[in-house]
Structure 1
């Protein structure tokens, strides 16, 4: 795993559905007023996402859109979200850049029948070398085993996943763990058999909340 950035402009919580990102994001925002919750990418670039969802969102996502179109939409929303950060505050992101690339790669793997590594390479090639804001990215995983991780999150869903979505979710868990194994995230937290409070404490420790607060008192990330 890579080292956590010293003075990040952004902190992101990442992970598959039903792992507890929303709860942990809320807890972070409540813990320190220096965080600026910035939410998800579609909130900052709603028009193209509204067009995609106008008819059949799942069909557009998994059939009509290309990997390039989906990846570019995710990156455009991420750029607009980053631009919304106020000077002196740490932007709090619901799924940061690594997770967005994971989502695009998992979709690519399902639609194009590519192995995880090749799908990630495809998406990374589309992303290219564009400017990336400094980000501390924390990955929350239900388990460090891909199949068990999928089983845990699918069991937490209120209704069974249908159609292509289970295959997509399995690929997503595999992509996230592949990224974790290759040091993509600043920190990886195994959430299996742990309480919400225990996970919260580790999230705070991994992002270095004391250092963030001190940095803010000294002028904050600019």
Structure 2
């Protein structure tokens, strides 16, 4: 069970949660434009790190603005994940090290990286090869080209972020039931009450 399913379960747990969806849903014009051609070519070859990072951050800003007053937004991919995606893409596209790419993306994002979020990172496995195998198997089709390198690099970036304390918690989902993972997630966001009641 992945992030989206966990978010759906959280939304049912407390009415104060507001699922906010993906960044492209809140800023569709640029994403529709780039998806009209060869999306993979644009993402990994023709786009610049500045362009991709700015598009992700612009969508994130508009998504945050859609949150209703007095409600807690639920993000499938929060700010740390968006920055990790931009960083991993920068590594495989521009040939930088993870540390160099993190500095590059952080410089582009600037003060926008200070927005407070409670971020729980769910990983298929802490091991890079196992994580890749589990994630690719879920797709039911082989990954080709640059995408396998990107996925493995993204895992390395996520672990680097975790080591630096970016996430409130990191949950290793390997060989664990969905209910067990969900219990962990509830604990990390401060929820223990039955469905329909607020956080303690």
Same fold (TM over 0.5): yes
User: 1:70 aligns to what?
Assistant: 52
User: 1:84 aligns to what?
Assistant: 66
TM-score (norm 2): 0.94
Query: Is the contact between residue 146 and residue 177 of structure 1 (CA under 8 Å) also seen in structure 2?
Result: no
Report how many residues are paired.
197
1:117 equivalent in alignment to 2:99: yes
Unpaired runs of 5+ residues, structure 2, are none
Deviation for aligned residue 1:162: 1.3
Deviation for aligned residue 1:30: 1.1
Deviation for aligned residue 1:156: 2.2
Q: How many Å separate the matches in 2 of 1:111 and 1:120?
A: 14
Please point out which of 64, 72, 78 is paired with 1:96: 78
**Secondary structure, counterpart of 2:69 in structure 1:** coil
| Structure with the higher fraction of residues in strand conformation | 1
User: 2:164 aligns to what?
Assistant: 182
Please point out which of 118, 123, 127 is paired with 1:141: 123
Unpaired runs of 5+ residues, structure 1, are 1-18, 216-222
Bigger Cα displacement from structure 2, 50-59 vs 154-163 = 154-163
Please point out which of 188, 191, 195 is paired with 2:173: 191
Deviation for aligned residue 1:72: 0.4
Query: Is the contact between residue 45 and residue 76 of structure 1 (CA under 8 Å) also seen in structure 2?
Result: yes
Q: How many Å separate the matches in 2 of 1:147 and 1:210?
A: 34
Query: Is the contact between residue 106 and residue 171 of structure 1 (CA under 8 Å) also seen in structure 2?
Result: yes
